[in-house]
Structure 1
């Protein structure tokens, strides 16, 4: 069994940072605090997925950074939260790309805008990033237009240049959707990682996805990484829905004892659940099976906090995030995704 975690001690020990995946550490020497993973960089302070966001995250003490990957038309992996980029870049203000606006159905959701798979990398490289949540984070909008879109290659370069070891947690987005459009996300990521390792990249690599199928594919390719299956509180995985329709197993059923056993048997190293699905009981059952548990996403603004931790009426104001972050840590979770890695460090202290 792993450590016993009390409501206070779970978040009290941070004398030394261990910027690596917990699965690489013997159980008896695992740290008493969770891994701090900067969600798309320090995205609470800078537009997400920008060089400034990643470099600031490292400076603020993050153990790991998390880039989301989507492809361009010519097969370059770029880091964007979604392949629809109307809200995170200045593409809507670029008249030369006005005719690219279209409507797509991505994992059952109808979206209108501009999609990375309709652009070459050379075209995307001309765009500039914008704050995705301007009403919640107006201070970050002063950086709109300053930073270009990055490739995964660029983020790996930032990791390699960091003054200390930092883990990279790559999220593969919409693998089934992209497969139907002619993009093999496992092959594209494998190719990028091989190039990175050939350049001397040594940072620990974790790959995560809301679709276990692409993780299975990458594992069979013998990619040197750890694999984490992302879970929403409810619903079902897009790859399973595409294959099984209404018969697809739910996220809840995949967190049952049988589901966790199957996850372990498939060679996965852990699961990552949204905070609404996190509990000490789930962490305990997963740990009993040798699985790590991560959770997403810790944010201090009232809009993202449970009602009991909100302060005042403004959605953008910070609530009692300290108590919320501490409560999440007290479940014994192995890692937390956060937009403000320094605030997690403060809660841990």
Structure 2
């Protein structure tokens, strides 16, 4: 039995929160996303030096925080600053800002929240779960979480087991089975398979897909995962006379009983689409995806409501 939310025709996942409007993975971005009523809010997870899962998109700190000025001497030989080299208390001292290029200092999405303005901080998985569960209690809503195990191999090389720590926290907060309001995702297929088969997790699992060759491994993924999270471009084939044709990825996945949740829908990064509306129509309706990750949850929900799909 799946959570009823996963039986909906379309689901909306707030990608790093309402990250089109506020710095990604801050509690402020999560609060704004929550108010937009998505089905799930995403948490990317990386361990601190003292084994606290931190909600941040990457193992690096230097493209979303002021670590290079606050802890200039803590960079590694590659000139990068790593979350895993800092304790939770140290990470709390950092200021978080809009994503920028650490080499040039330039903001990645120039029309988003102004860089270095405001007072945003990093937080832990536990803090975010308590925040979302607290809002579920006070509002009567039931918005889910969608955590991602980030770079498990990197953590293992550093002598840490991110996956076990995350699964324990999820279980402690009541996320254990497919009925619970949690989807767990990972790019590392070996790790996701291990979560299902060795660690015996009964959570709803999504195999993220980055490379083309992985789109050919759906039969294998279906032995442990409940769905896939491909890059949306892996669904598109070509555009002729204003109409897109599609690869067989969605239909192949559906034949195997896998849900399809592509990433990432950005109103300020349209790629081959002429408008965000065209992007939504093409992917949600023409390509028949089951859900998607977006920096702009309000815009996706508004589109789906107009089409009576939400």
Q: TM-score, normalised by structure 2?
A: 0.84
Map of 1:206-245 to 2, 5 A cutoff? Answer: 206-219=183-196, 220-232=198-210, 234=211
* Residues 44 and 137 in structure 1, CA contact (< 8 A), matched pair in contact too: no
Q: What is the aligned partner in structure 1 of residue 271 from structure 2?
A: 306
CA 293–128 in structure 1, closer or farther in 2 if over 3 Å, else same: same
Between the aligned partners of 1:335 and 1:344, the Cα distance in structure 2 is 10
* Residues 38 and 340 in structure 1, CA contact (< 8 A), matched pair in contact too: yes
Q: What is the aligned partner in structure 2 of residue 93 from structure 1?
A: 69
The 10-residue stretch of structure 1 (220-229 or 113-122) with the greater mean CA deviation from structure 2: 220-229
CA 45–288 in structure 1, closer or farther in 2 if over 3 Å, else same: same
Q: What is the aligned partner in structure 1 of residue 19 from structure 2?
A: 43
1:24 and 2:24 correspond = no
Structure 2 gaps, min length 5: 101-106, 237-245
1:274 and 2:198 correspond = no
Which residue of 81, 94, 109 maps to 1:136?
109
Which residue of 40, 46, 54 maps to 1:78?
54
C-alpha displacement at 1:26, in angstroms? 10
Between the aligned partners of 2:273 and 2:265, the Cα distance in structure 1 is 15
Map of 1:141-290 to 2, 5 A cutoff? Answer: 141=114, 144-162=117-135, 163=139, 164-197=141-174, 204-219=181-196, 220-232=198-210, 234=211, 251-252=212-213, 254-256=214-216, 259-265=217-223, 267-279=224-236, 281-290=248-257
Between the aligned partners of 1:26 and 1:341, the Cα distance in structure 2 is 16
Q: Secondary structure at the match of 2:222?
A: helix
Between the aligned partners of 2:27 and 2:171, the Cα distance in structure 1 is 22
C-alpha displacement at 1:197, in angstroms? 2.7
Q: TM-score, normalised by structure 1?
A: 0.75
Q: What is the aligned partner in structure 2 of residue 326 from structure 1?
A: 281
Report Cα offsets for 1:172-202 as digits up to 9, x if no partner.
111111111111122111222233239xxx9
Q: Secondary structure at the match of 2:127?
A: helix
Q: Secondary structure at the match of 2:90?
A: helix
* Residues 160 and 203 in structure 1, CA contact (< 8 A), matched pair in contact too: no
Alpha carbon RMSD of aligned pairs, Å? 2.2
Task: Give the structure with the higher percent helix.
Answer: 1
CA 54–261 in structure 1, closer or farther in 2 if over 3 Å, else same: same
CA 76–155 in structure 1, closer or farther in 2 if over 3 Å, else same: same
The 10-residue stretch of structure 1 (60-69 or 155-164) with the greater mean CA deviation from structure 2: 155-164
Structure 1 gaps, min length 5: 1-21, 105-111, 235-250, 310-319
C-alpha displacement at 1:136, in angstroms? 1.9
Between the aligned partners of 1:300 and 1:26, the Cα distance in structure 2 is 25
* Residues 273 and 279 in structure 2, CA contact (< 8 A), matched pair in contact too: no
